[in-house]
Amino acid sequence: MEATTLIPIGMGLIVIGAAIGISRFAAAAAESIARQPQAAADITAAINLPLFLLEGVAIIAEALTFATIFFS
């Protein structure tokens, strides 16, 4: 088994980890907004940057996976 065959598996695990992180972040934000509806704007503003960064990690991992599969 070559090392390049394990790269897509590792990248897939990164995408799964990012999906779990995004879901936990969104669940925590929804719970916080349910507890304090008057702070919804502040909670939404504070949660956007980490969600965008996690989504970026997932997109980069997918792009690297496809590049590894098709160009190796």
Per-residue pLDDT of the chain (72 residues; tens, 9 = 90+): 676 778 778 888 888 998 899 999 999 999 999 999 999 999 999 999 988 998 898 898 888 888 887 887
Straight-line distance from the first to the last Cα atom of the chain, in angstroms, rounded to the nearest whole number = 14
Any domain includes 29: yes
Domain holding 13: CATH number? 1.20.20.10
Any domain includes 33: yes
Any domain includes 50: yes
pTM, to two decimals: 0.76
Which residue type, as a one-letter code, is found at position 43? I
47 close to 25: Cβ distance less than 8 angstroms: yes
Rg (alpha carbons) of the chain, rounded to whole number: 17
Any domain includes 22: yes
Any domain includes 2: no
Domain limits for position 19: 7-71
Alpha helices (H) in the chain, listed in sequence order: 7-35, 40-71
Any domain includes 55: yes
Report the number of distinct structural domains present in the chain: 1
Any domain includes 1: no
At 36, give phi and psi (nearest 5°).
-130, 85
